[in-house]
Every structure is written in structure tokens, then in C-alpha cells.
């Protein structure tokens, strides 16, 4: 199964991708996670990407397209993959079509997770992520058992650099301007599945499974 998770910052792409990974045993490819890892390692890619990410702007298309092209060649992607946060521009979507076409593959479903702006702001300002295993929490909606400590691995929880209110607002603007046009792009191809992203995490997951024809 080859999936794309579309949706604004904070809509729950990462949260849902991690659940789908467990269910289908296919990898999550999050360009945001890959870029944050590069920033942490201080690689040339990370140094370039950081400038854009800290301002809530998109990293140039060529950079992310290169990352995804390499990643899709991984043996673990043969059974399928979940793209989380890619593509984010029409140019990226067109590049993805070419890459998959060359591989003789295609996309099965594009899941557009819809959440209103006030809720997105609440979710992002309260988000905490585990430094060690990447598990995601929310101080109110999905709190860890002990403050600042990951339930799964005991790792330290941190707040993302781009989760400051001002940067969040810029990310939402960028989404509207550059990424929202992908809804129409995939609708025309008959691949778009619109999902109400409000309600509990399990409720949203159930809607996704239904939309992609998983009868459990
Ligand atoms: P990226 O890391 O992709 O961030 P994003 O798109 O802004 O999305 P988020 O990760 O913030 O949100 P999410 O939808 O994953 O929500 P989550 O599950 O965490 O990108 C970051 C940056 O990298 C970009 O700004 C750009 O600079 C660069 N970049 C990345 N990809 C790029 C690309 N393709 N091209 C160019 N640049 C790129 O959930 C959020 C919170 O809500 C959590 O606290 C969670 O616990 C909570 N939550 C989740 N579901 C629910 C629910 N149902 N109810 C209540 N709370 C919930
Ligand atoms: Mg994410
Ligand atoms: Zn952890």
C-alpha cells in the first residue's frame, strides 16, 4: 500500500503515520523528521535546511525530492510506504509522479486530514516529542504519564523549534499558499480521501482505515 498523508501542520500526519506503520508494517517517510535529524547531526543538508525550517518556510524542492527519491529505493519500501509531509508543492507532486513512474509504481490513496486553524494552533503549541524514539505527545490531549518523560522509552520530551506561535502562523500560511493546491491535484486523479481530523486519535484512525477500504 502506497499512501500520502496530506494536511496542515498539526493535523496529525505524524501521529497517524506511526499507527499505520504498526498496522501495515510499511515505513513512514517523513521529510520533516529526516530534515530534523540532519539538523541535529549538523550535516551540510541540515545546515541548509535549518534556515528555512526555523522561519516556517519550505526547504527547496530539489533538496527534498532528492531525499525522497533515495529513500524510496530502500528495500523496506517494496511492500509500500507512507509519505508524511511530502509532497508539499505541485512541483514536488510532479517529481514524485515521475519517480514512481520510473519504478513502475503509483500512489493508492492520498489522505487529506482536515482540522480547523484554532485547533491546529492548540495542538502545535502543546506538542512534545521524544528525543530518543520520536513518540508524540500533547500536554493536554495526549499527556505522558510523567511530565517531560516518554512513556515508551523513558526519553526526554522536547518542544520543536518551529512550534512557536509566530512560526506556526507562518507554516499555516505557507500551507495555504503552496500545499493546499495539492488537494485539487489529487482530486483530479481520483486519489483524494478527505478525512475529518477532529476527535480522538483512534477515531481519526478509524476514519482513515474506512476511507482506504480496510475492513479490519
Ligand atoms: P513537518 O515536520 O512535516 O511539519 P508539519 O507539516 O508542519 O506538520 P507537523 O509535523 O507539525 O504536524 P503533524 O501533522 O505531523 O501533526 P502531529 O501528528 O505531530 O515539516 C517541518 C518543516 O520541515 C517544514 O516547515 C519545512 O521547513 C520542512 N519540510 C518538511 N517537509 C518538506 C517538504 N516536503 N518540502 C519542503 N520543506 C519541507 O500532531 C500534532 C499534535 O497534535 C501532537 O501534539 C499530537 O499529540 C496532537 N494530536 C494528534 N492527533 C490528535 C487528535 N486527534 N486530537 C488531539 N490531539 C492530537
Ligand atoms: Mg509531523
Ligand atoms: Zn521515547
Distance of CA 131 to the CA centre of its chain: 17
Is 157 a member of any domain?
no
Q: Which domain holds residue 172?
A: 2-26+79-115+168-211
pLDDT score of 164 more than 80: yes
Is 9 a member of any domain?
yes
User: Ligand 2: distance of its center to the CA of 14 in Å?
Assistant: 4
User: Ligand 2: distance of its center to the CA of 107 in Å?
Assistant: 20
Other Cβ atoms within 10 Å of 151 Cβ, number: 14
- Reported as a single tens digit per residue, the pLDDT across 173-205 is 999 999 999 999 999 999 999 999 999 999 999
Q: In the chain, how many domains are there?
A: 1
Residue 108: CATH number of its domain: 3.40.50.300
The answer to whether the CB of 6 falls within 8 A of the CB of 195 is: no
Q: Is 207 a catalytic residue?
A: no
Is 163 a member of any domain?
no
Other Cβ atoms within 10 Å of 74 Cβ, number: 11
Is 173 a member of any domain?
yes
Is 141 a member of any domain?
no
Residue 215: the pLDDT is 84
- Reported as a single tens digit per residue, the pLDDT across 10-58 is 999 999 999 999 999 999 999 999 999 999 999 999 999 999 999 999 9
Of the chain, the end-to-end C-alpha distance in Å amounts to: 15
- Reported as a single tens digit per residue, the pLDDT across 113-149 is 999 999 999 999 999 999 999 999 999 999 999 999 9
Is 33 a member of any domain?
no
Ligand 1 pocket list (CB less than 6 A): 7, 9-15, 31-32, 35, 52-53, 56-59, 64, 85-86, 88, 92, 123-124, 126-127, 136-138, 141-142, 162, 171, 200-201, 204
Distance of CA 206 to the CA centre of its chain: 18
Q: Provide the mean pLDDT of the chain.
A: 96
User: Ligand 2: distance of its center to the CA of 85 in Å?
Assistant: 7
Residue 216: the pLDDT is 76
- Band (169; pLDDT cuts 50, 70, 90): very high
The answer to whether the CB of 116 falls within 8 A of the CB of 11 is: no
Amino acid at each position: 500500500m502506497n499512501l500520502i498523508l496530506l494536511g496542515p501542520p498539526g493535523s496529525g500526519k505524524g501521529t497517524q503515520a506511526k499507527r499505520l506503520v504498526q498496522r501495515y508494517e510499511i515505513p513512514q517517510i517523513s521529510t520533516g523528521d529526516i530534515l530534523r535529524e540532519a539538523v541535529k547531526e549538523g550535516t551540510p543538508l541540515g545546515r541548509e535546511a535549518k534556515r528555512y525550517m526555523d522561519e516556517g518556510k519550505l526547504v527547496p524542492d530539489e533538496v527534498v525530492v532528492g531525499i525522497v527519491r533515495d529513500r524510496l529505493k530502500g528495500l523496506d519500501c517494496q511492500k509500500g510506504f507512507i509519505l508524511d509531509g511530502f509532497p508539499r508543492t505541485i512541483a514536488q507532486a510532479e517529481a514524485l509522479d515521475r519517480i514512481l513512474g520510473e519504478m513502475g509504481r503509483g500512489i493508492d490513496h492520498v489522505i487529506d486530514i482536515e482540522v480547523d486553524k484554532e485547533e491546529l494552533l492548540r495542538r502545535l503549541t502543546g506538542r512534545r516529542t521524544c528525543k530518543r524514539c520520536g513518540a508524540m505527545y500533547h500536554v493536554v490531549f495526549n499527556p505522558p504519564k510523567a511530565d517531560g518523560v516518554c512513556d515508551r522509552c523513558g526519553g526526554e520530551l522536547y518542544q520543536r523549534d518551529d512550534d512557536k506561535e509566530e512560526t506556526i502562523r507562518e507554516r499555516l500560511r505557507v500551507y495555504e499558499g503552496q500545499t493546499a493546491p495539492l488537494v485539487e491535484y489529487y482530486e483530479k486523479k481520483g486519489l483524494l480521501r478527505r478525512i475529518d481530523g477532529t476527535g480522538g486519535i483512534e477515531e481519526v484512525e478509524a476514519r482513515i482505515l474506512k476511507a482506504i477500504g480496510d475492513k479490519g
